[in-house]
Structure 1
Amino acid sequence: MTLDIAYSPCPNDTFVFDAWAHGRIPDAPALDVTFADIDLTNGMAERGEFNILKVSYAVLPYVLDEYALLPCGGALGRGCGPLVLTREAGVDLTGKTVAVPSEKSTAYLLFRLWAADVLPQGVGEIVVLPFHEIMPAVRDGRVDAGLVIHEARFTYQNYGLHRLADMGEHWEATTGLPIPLGAIIAKRSLGTETLKSLAEAARTSVRMAWDDPEASRAYVLEHAQEMDPAVADRHIGLYVNEFTADLGEDGYAAVRGLLTRAAAEGLVPPLGRDALSFP
């Protein structure tokens, strides 16, 4: 059996899925991989286009009727939240234009929850841009601020930009929970046994990557879009952690907490009682 899967070319995803994607896990279903940025995979999930997808946790309320959340393979953590960047330090974003990678991204939900606390008058226009275009747009003055994710934490100084706020710091300070970022979902129609086998394959792939990091290096760097290898390593170290192997109690609490707070703000539909349960 071969199943189609879509995930990003970011180092954390290629690191996690390397062993599985290359057929090194005995008895695991074969994968037909498509690379796509998170805004695209979120849309794919809403249209039900792939069997397995890496998506933003923010899109779960829209897709959990058709997809199940796998308890492993995704991205949560501490000290790894999205950043708001500006050209000048200390900018007041009230009424300003902010570029975001997706309006259905977890980064955007965290941003909206932060803004609700610290910008009572609200921001101005929200502009959706591909992830790699956001920092140049801020640098060139096409937008007033940018919401960035992933390796931008390590490279924004190269664009002469300033960190205005850290969405993860705000989330952790107000909740005490890890930051939920990206989820792995699979179609419920695959059946309970297949879903369990997918979760086991994802967990095994993570552990194999940890056991032999060099095995995935060529795959990671091939798709890292000219990223410095040292930055790729820092990226993996930050986003691939114990929650990738198993969401656990704190991981599920973080996901429920984010989506419950977002629903209370009217940002997403409310979750059903058992929406996050796994077979």
Structure 2
Amino acid sequence: MKIAFSPCPNDTFIFHAWVHGLVPDAPQLEVTYADIDVTNQIASMAGVDAPDILKISYAALPWVQSDYALLPCGGALGRGCGPLVLTNSSLNRSNGDAGRVSGAAALSGRRVAVPSERSTAYLLFRLWAAQQVPGGVGEIVVMPFHEIMPAVRDGLVDAGLVIHEARFTYHTYGLHLLQDLGSWWEADTGLPIPLGAIIARRSLDVHAIADWIRTSVEYAWAHPEVSRDYVMSLAQELSPEVAQAHIDLYVNEFSANLGEDGYAAVHALLSRAAEAGLVPKVDLAALRW
């Protein structure tokens, strides 16, 4: 069975047991490690060679729902784990007669780097900016995730949208936090933040796949030390401390079961985005099975 997920510590921690044959009766996995922007593109193609199971952005789900089912476990959804908008200064600036402009308003007309145009992070950013940035931002520049913080630091862009381990490392680039989009989302909706989804081909036994993933998650929690070498071998030069902080933040109760709050968060994100014309309208009822 083919699967594609990122080399990030939360994904490798979750899937370690299944990848290494520690989940009873589960088929052997053929793994492709790829950043989520790549898996979003792979899923949208849905060809015969596309993986059976993928980790994608919830924002990409509307484009693949006809071919892939959302699984209720294994993804990234939680509280206090949202994307960040970073700058290399307070971004205060002179605004003529209006005086000094700071905070979200300072992004008006500015150049912002994002890691993908079909990521949940970018979708949250667009929903937030429409509500908070007068006149909207200026140019959006798509660049690889690892290039964004250096670009902000060096003044190549005015601000950057970052995810995952950047939450723990952005201060080492001398950057400033302009907005935690997760905090905004939670305050605005009262719901957790839906980031990454696990999907499987509808033609497969999605119930069995969900059971195998949940077993892999539970094994990881019961034996955290067993996956350590595997996680660190793919952790892209993260320190063990940052990798563990990453796991602690993104692997949580929703990793085992989306539950009512999890599905409500997904419904809220995709329905708001569809109403704003940012994604195709989805069959929200069909997200559950």
User: Normalized against structure 2, the TM-score is what?
Assistant: 0.93
Partner Cα distance (1:55, 1:174) in 2 = 24
Counterpart in the other structure of 1:200: 211
Partner Cα distance (2:200, 2:122) in 1 = 23
Counterpart in the other structure of 1:20: 18
Equivalent in 97, 110, 126 of residue 96 of structure 1: 110
> What stretches of structure 1 of length at least 5 have no aligned partner?
none
What secondary structure sits across from 2:127 in the alignment? helix
Counterpart in the other structure of 2:245: 234
What secondary structure sits across from 2:203 in the alignment? helix
What secondary structure sits across from 1:5 in the alignment? strand
**Deviation per residue, 1:68-118 (Å, 9 max, x gap):** 000000000000000000000145111111111111100001101110111
Counterpart in the other structure of 1:42: 40
Contact 2:17/2:216, CA 8 A, preserved across alignment: yes
1:218-229 paired onto structure 2 within 5 Å: 218-229=229-240
Equivalent in 119, 139, 155 of residue 133 of structure 2: 119
Which 4+ runs in 1 deviate beyond 2 A?
A: none
Counterpart in the other structure of 2:225: 214
Partner Cα distance (1:130, 1:137) in 2 = 11
State yes or no: 1:262 paired with 2:273.
Answer: yes
Larger radius of gyration: 2
What secondary structure sits across from 1:203 in the alignment? helix
Partner Cα distance (1:275, 1:83) in 2 = 31
> What stretches of structure 2 of length at least 5 have no aligned partner?
93-105
Partner Cα distance (1:225, 1:96) in 2 = 30
Partner Cα distance (1:107, 1:82) in 2 = 6
Partner Cα distance (1:89, 1:96) in 2 = 13
What secondary structure sits across from 1:215 in the alignment? coil
Contact 1:10/1:224, CA 8 A, preserved across alignment: yes
State yes or no: 1:75 paired with 2:76.
Answer: yes
Counterpart in the other structure of 1:108: 122
Contact 2:267/2:284, CA 8 A, preserved across alignment: no
* Cα shift at 1:6: 0.5
What secondary structure sits across from 1:12 in the alignment? helix
Q: Percent identity?
A: 68
Counterpart in the other structure of 2:261: 250
Name the aligned partner's letter for residue 214 of structure 2: R
User: Normalized against structure 1, the TM-score is what?
Assistant: 0.96
Counterpart in the other structure of 2:203: 189
Name the aligned partner's letter for residue 85 of structure 2: V
* Cα shift at 1:272: 1.6
What secondary structure sits across from 2:26 in the alignment? coil
Q: What's the Cα RMSD here?
A: 0.8
Name the aligned partner's letter for residue 111 of structure 1: F
* Cα shift at 1:139: 0.8
- In the alignment of these two chains, the number of paired residues is 273
